[in-house]
Amino acid sequence: TQLLEQSPQFLSIQEGENLTVYCNSSSVFSSLQWYRQEPGEGPVLLVTVVTGGEVKKLKRLTFQFGDARKDSSLHITAAQPGDTGLYLCAVPNQAGTALIFGKGTTLSVSS
Protein backbone atom coordinates (compact mmCIF):
# COMPACT_ATOMS: atom_id res chain seq x y z
CA THR A 1 0.00 0.00 0.00
CA GLN A 2 1.11 3.53 -0.72
CA LEU A 3 1.68 5.90 2.18
CA LEU A 4 0.08 8.71 0.20
CA GLU A 5 -2.82 8.10 -2.13
CA GLN A 6 -3.49 10.83 -4.65
CA SER A 7 -6.70 11.07 -6.61
CA PRO A 8 -7.68 11.31 -9.27
CA GLN A 9 -4.65 9.96 -11.10
CA PHE A 10 -5.56 11.89 -14.26
CA LEU A 11 -7.79 14.89 -14.80
CA SER A 12 -8.58 16.56 -18.08
CA ILE A 13 -10.70 19.70 -18.02
CA GLN A 14 -11.56 22.81 -20.00
CA GLU A 15 -10.20 26.24 -19.25
CA GLY A 16 -12.34 28.03 -16.70
CA GLU A 17 -13.48 24.94 -14.83
CA ASN A 18 -12.85 24.36 -11.14
CA LEU A 19 -11.24 21.22 -9.81
CA THR A 20 -10.09 19.56 -6.61
CA VAL A 21 -7.39 16.94 -6.19
CA TYR A 22 -6.78 14.94 -3.06
CA CYS A 23 -3.95 13.49 -1.06
CA ASN A 24 -4.97 10.90 1.52
CA SER A 25 -3.28 8.71 4.07
CA SER A 26 -4.04 6.74 7.19
CA SER A 27 -0.99 8.25 8.89
CA VAL A 28 -0.67 11.55 10.71
CA PHE A 29 1.94 14.00 9.48
CA SER A 30 3.70 16.97 11.01
CA SER A 31 3.47 18.77 7.69
CA LEU A 32 2.54 18.22 4.08
CA GLN A 33 3.78 19.84 0.93
CA TRP A 34 2.33 20.27 -2.54
CA TYR A 35 4.59 20.40 -5.58
CA ARG A 36 3.94 20.99 -9.25
CA GLN A 37 6.10 19.28 -11.85
CA GLU A 38 6.17 20.12 -15.54
CA PRO A 39 7.48 17.66 -18.15
CA GLY A 40 11.27 17.51 -18.16
CA GLU A 41 11.57 19.57 -14.99
CA GLY A 42 11.97 18.94 -11.30
CA PRO A 43 9.16 19.43 -8.79
CA VAL A 44 8.61 22.98 -7.62
CA LEU A 45 7.24 23.63 -4.16
CA LEU A 46 3.85 25.34 -4.09
CA VAL A 47 3.00 25.30 -0.41
CA THR A 48 3.68 23.73 2.97
CA VAL A 49 0.81 23.15 5.40
CA VAL A 50 1.51 22.46 9.02
CA THR A 51 -1.55 22.97 11.20
CA GLY A 52 -4.62 20.73 11.12
CA GLY A 53 -7.44 22.53 9.31
CA GLU A 54 -5.06 25.07 7.84
CA VAL A 55 -6.07 26.73 4.58
CA LYS A 56 -3.55 28.48 2.37
CA LYS A 57 -4.22 30.37 -0.81
CA LEU A 58 -1.87 30.96 -3.71
CA LYS A 59 -3.74 33.04 -6.29
CA ARG A 60 -6.33 30.64 -7.74
CA LEU A 61 -5.01 27.66 -5.77
CA THR A 62 -6.44 26.81 -2.34
CA PHE A 63 -4.73 24.20 -0.19
CA GLN A 64 -6.28 22.64 2.87
CA PHE A 65 -4.74 20.36 5.46
CA GLY A 66 -7.20 17.98 7.11
CA ASP A 67 -8.14 18.54 10.73
CA ALA A 68 -6.45 15.29 11.71
CA ARG A 69 -3.38 16.05 9.55
CA LYS A 70 -3.88 12.86 7.55
CA ASP A 71 -5.03 14.33 4.26
CA SER A 72 -5.00 17.41 2.12
CA SER A 73 -6.77 18.89 -0.86
CA LEU A 74 -5.82 21.30 -3.60
CA HIS A 75 -8.59 23.28 -5.24
CA ILE A 76 -8.01 25.27 -8.41
CA THR A 77 -10.52 27.91 -9.41
CA ALA A 78 -10.99 28.83 -13.06
CA ALA A 79 -8.22 26.57 -14.33
CA GLN A 80 -5.96 27.84 -17.08
CA PRO A 81 -3.77 25.96 -19.58
CA GLY A 82 -0.75 27.13 -17.58
CA ASP A 83 -1.97 25.02 -14.66
CA THR A 84 -1.26 21.87 -16.67
CA GLY A 85 1.23 19.63 -14.90
CA LEU A 86 1.76 16.87 -12.36
CA TYR A 87 0.64 17.81 -8.86
CA LEU A 88 2.47 15.93 -6.13
CA CYS A 89 1.92 15.83 -2.43
CA ALA A 90 4.82 14.96 -0.15
CA VAL A 91 5.40 14.40 3.55
CA PRO A 92 8.56 14.13 5.61
CA ASN A 93 9.78 10.68 6.61
CA GLN A 94 9.84 9.79 10.28
CA ALA A 95 13.28 11.27 10.81
CA GLY A 96 12.38 14.39 8.86
CA THR A 97 15.42 13.87 6.66
CA ALA A 98 13.70 13.12 3.37
CA LEU A 99 10.42 13.56 1.54
CA ILE A 100 8.00 10.79 0.62
CA PHE A 101 5.97 11.60 -2.46
CA GLY A 102 2.61 10.47 -3.69
CA LYS A 103 2.23 9.30 -7.29
CA GLY A 104 0.63 12.57 -8.26
CA THR A 105 -2.33 13.83 -10.23
CA THR A 106 -1.71 14.67 -13.85
CA LEU A 107 -3.79 17.70 -14.77
CA SER A 108 -4.44 18.76 -18.33
CA VAL A 109 -6.27 22.02 -18.99
CA SER A 110 -7.37 22.70 -22.56
CA SER A 111 -8.25 26.09 -23.97
User: Is 56 among the residues that bind other proteins (CB under 8 A)?
Assistant: no
Q: Give the residue with the Cβ less far from other proteins, 98 or 111.
A: 98
Under the criterion CB under 8 A, does residue 19 sit at the interface with other proteins?
A: no
59 binds other proteins, rule: CB under 8 A: no
Task: Check: CB of residue 19 under 8 Å from CB of residue 13.
Answer: yes
Instruction: Provide the residue count of the chain.
Output: 111
The footprint of other proteins on this chain (CB under 8 A) covers a number of residues equal to: 23
Q: Confirm or reject binding of residue 1 to other proteins (CB under 8 A).
A: no
Binding mask 85-104 for other proteins (x = CB under 8 A): ---x-x-xx-xxxxxxxxxx
Q: How far is CA 53 from CA 66, 68, 99, 106, in A?
A: 5, 8, 21, 25
Q: Phi/psi of residue 52, each to 5°?
A: -55, 130
| Cβ-based burial of 34 (10 A; exposed 0-12, middle 13-18, buried ≥19) | buried
Give the interface with other proteins as residue ranges (CB under 8 A).
31, 37, 40-45, 48, 88, 90, 92-93, 95-104
